[in-house]
Amino acid sequence: MTLPEIAKLGHVALVTPDLDKSLWFFRDVIGLEVTEEKDDTIYMRAWGDFEHHTFSLKAGEKAKVDHIGWKAKRPEDVQGFALLLEKAGNEVEWVKAGEETGQGEAIRFKLPSQHAFEIYYDMDKPLAEEDKRSILKNQRYKSWRKGISPRRIDHVNIATSMDISEIHDYLANQLGFKLREYVSGKDEPMKAAWMSVTNLVHDIALSPRPNAATPNQFHHISYWLDDSQDLLRAADILSEQGIKFIGPGKHGISQALYLYVMDPGSGCRVELFSGGYLIFEPDWEPIVWTEEERSVGNTYWGDTVQDKEENQLTIEA
């Protein structure tokens, strides 16, 4: 029997208390394209994303991530994951085709930390409107049409007050994620982790928040920029708008260039991300960083992430 597999990160569904401000930020400043507005939800994607949406916005009383969506590798894998998760004692909710606009039948369930995940396979891949469409058949929109204009969604970082190793074990054993890099503490074998189902260093990262009010916190969503010059251009655009940010800098872990900025409508953090390395070895041995090495792992050079008070803020997921 072939075990079900996750192919890639699909989307993040954000609830915001200030829809107008969040829409301005993600559409006009970050530069995501609106693909559809339906049932009080605004669906968006980057110019290089093919699926109907990689991000959605909906108004609510407080900021939170409603769910994180993952695309299965094969159509039958949605059912396969439902069976495996239920067998392991998870409660699985079926989402009918079309209930989430553009998406086929899906399942939703919660990690031990209560982060809500969704697994789907079918998703519409609409063309862009003619006036926004690229002449290149292998991309949907004209690049650099507006705002920072990232190419695609890259990864998510979830935070929790729970033992990180427990969430790692769930992602590895139930969902097939592979451990790529991690931080090991004196009293805890795993204090933070970077995991993936693709060749990326991480499709998901796990961050500790021991004093968080709930175990299901969301640290950031990341969108990919092609190179370092794009990151500097993003800094200029944010500065022109009077929006504060952290970075640019370079992570030791992942070796990627970064810039962090907060959505003024929801407080959701966005990481603009470039560089890094890919993993092709099937027998990859996870890279271990000690607590003493953590500062280099977080910030190899540049504006330091760990020393910024605002970087400790998270929203509920």
pLDDT tens column, 5-61: 999 999 999 999 999 999 999 999 999 999 999 999 999 999 999 999 999 999 999
Minimal CA–CA distance to 220: which of 175, 290, 271? 271
Q: What mean pLDDT do residues 145-154 have?
A: 97
Task: Tell whether the model's pLDDT for residue 1 goes beyond 80.
Answer: no
For residue 19, give the 3-state DSSP assignment. helix
Band (305; pLDDT cuts 50, 70, 90): low
Domains of the chain are 6-120 (3.10.180.10), 152-316 (3.10.180.10)
Cα–Cα distance between 54 and 273 in angstroms, integer? 16
Band (191; pLDDT cuts 50, 70, 90): very high
Cβ–Cβ under 8 Å, residues 117 and 9? no
Regarding predicted confidence, which is higher, 9 or 210? 9
Give the pLDDT score at 101: 97
Task: Pull the structure tokens for residue 215.
Answer: 């175990």
Cβ–Cβ under 8 Å, residues 156 and 9? yes
- One-letter amino acid at 317 equals A
DSSP 3-state percent helix, strand, coil across the chain (nearest 5): 20, 35, 45
pLDDT tens column, 228-261: 999 999 999 999 999 999 999 999 999 999 999 9
Looking at every residue in the chain, the average pLDDT score rounds to 95
pTM of the model: 0.95
Say which residue the tokens 């400043």 belong to.
29
pLDDT tens column, 76-123: 999 999 999 999 999 999 999 999 999 999 999 999 999 999 999 999
Task: Pull the structure tokens for residue 196.
Answer: 């993936």
Task: Tell whether the model's pLDDT for residue 310 goes beyond 50.
Answer: no
Burial of 129 (0-12, 13-18, 19+ CB in 10 A): exposed
Q: What mean pLDDT do residues 191-203 have?
A: 97
pLDDT tens column, 160-169: 999 999 999 9
